[in-house]
Structure 1
Amino acid sequence: MTTNTEEQGNSLDMVKWGVVILLLAAAVIGNQYYSEASVLVRALAVVAAFAAAGVIALQTAKGKMALAFARESQIEVRKVIWPTRQEALNTTFIVLAATGVLALILWGLDAVLLRIVNFITGV
């Protein structure tokens, strides 16, 4: 009995995903087909079609999982301890300094290797 319910839910999800794909395709094709219509009207129609597709997609099992993931992610972001402005500036300056030093080292190494290659090839 459980497998029958799962199969029913799975086939209903497939129908919902089919409707989502049809809505998105209709939005894209309709936007192209009615190119002589007002840009505002076409934009509103595309936004409405995308919103309807999103609402339908959120009604599927995968959509519900994605929505739950987004909510849990939002909760986790609230738990993050963000650096102060001074800490962010210090870290930025350290990264810039390290990048500059590495760039100078690579420039010097490139110059040395270029001279070696020129010496070997006789150019």
Structure 2
Amino acid sequence: MLVSNESQDTNTILDKLKWGLVLVLIAFIVWGNFYFAEPNDIYQPNTIVRIIAVVVISALTLFIACTTGKGKSFILFLQESRKELRKVVWPPRKETVNTTLTVAAITVVVGLALWGMDSLFRSIVFYLTSIGR
């Protein structure tokens, strides 16, 4: 589908305006949350109203962000990712446990081997340089 340059310019300008509105709404959420905060009292009616306002404005902000070009492509990405995730063949529990235990055992063995080599080299260097005496 071909889109004219004028239409693309309009979409770009509109997207920029939407992102600007998103930033303003986020700033408003942060400012309002601190401005209307009541210290040390979570059960005040003002706190409940503040929480509801943050949720509603956040939902509005998310909706506006999703109507932009980048937002639509992000939603498409999430949908495609979910489809791909459904195609994944997950290993059975027994195989997962066995693999995890194998990795843990190898990690311990390699760690002990490195510790032993480090101790040996340290002893050799201390012996040759007389630092350890």
Task: Settle same-fold status: TM greater than 0.5.
Answer: yes
Q: What residue number does 2:22 align with?
A: 20
Q: What residue number does 1:41 align with?
A: 49
- Percent identity for Structure 1 against Structure 2: 41
Q: What residue number does 1:70 align with?
A: 78
Q: TM-score, normalised by structure 1?
A: 0.94
Q: What residue number does 1:53 align with?
A: 61
1:97 to 105, 110, 121: 105
Compute the displacement of 1:57 (Å).
0.3
Compute the displacement of 1:109 (Å).
1.1
Q: How many residues align?
A: 123
Compute the displacement of 1:8 (Å).
0.4
Runs of 4+ in 1 over 4 A off after TM superposition: none
1:115 to 108, 117, 123: 123
Letter in 2 for 1:27: I
Structure 2, unpaired ranges of 5+:
39-43
Compute the displacement of 1:104 (Å).
0.8
Compute the displacement of 1:65 (Å).
0.1
Compute the displacement of 1:75 (Å).
0.5
Structure (1/2) with the larger helix percentage: 1
Q: TM-score, normalised by structure 2?
A: 0.87
1: CA distance, partners of 2:126 / 2:54:
61
Change (3 A) 1:86 1:33: same
2: CA distance, partners of 1:47 / 1:114:
59
Which of 1 and 2 has higher RCO (CA within 8 Å, sep 6+)? 1
